[in-house]
Amino acid sequence: MMIVDLVDEVDFKEMLKNSGVPITDDMSLEQVQLETIQWKAQSEAFSIKLNALISELSDDQITVLPDVQNVIDYLKTH
């Protein structure tokens, strides 16, 4: 039996919060995306943290729900 890691919206928000992004659980993914972009722009250290998380989530062993993947894809390019 294969166990697959699944990242949903709740998991994704928790990962971002653990990285220091100032978001709340009640934010929509659109709000999370905007707040994350603004946070990332504040310093190179924040950008490095976010890029590390995005890299981790791009692992082939991790399954990400489509709505979360859309945010990740956006964050990769901004």
* Model confidence pLDDT, tens digit, residues 14-73: 999 999 999 999 999 999 999 999 999 999 999 999 999 999 998 878 899 999 999 999
Alpha carbons 46 and 52: distance in angstroms, whole number: 10
H helices present in 3-65, as ranges: 9-19, 29-40, 44-57
Alpha carbons 52 and 5: distance in angstroms, whole number: 18
Residue 59 is predicted with a pLDDT of: 81
Residue 4 is predicted with a pLDDT of: 54
Residue 7 is predicted with a pLDDT of: 94
Number of domains in the chain: 1
Q: Which residues span the domain enclosing 29?
A: 5-77
Contacts 24+ apart (CB under 8 A), 38-47: 40/75, 46/20
SS3 63: strand
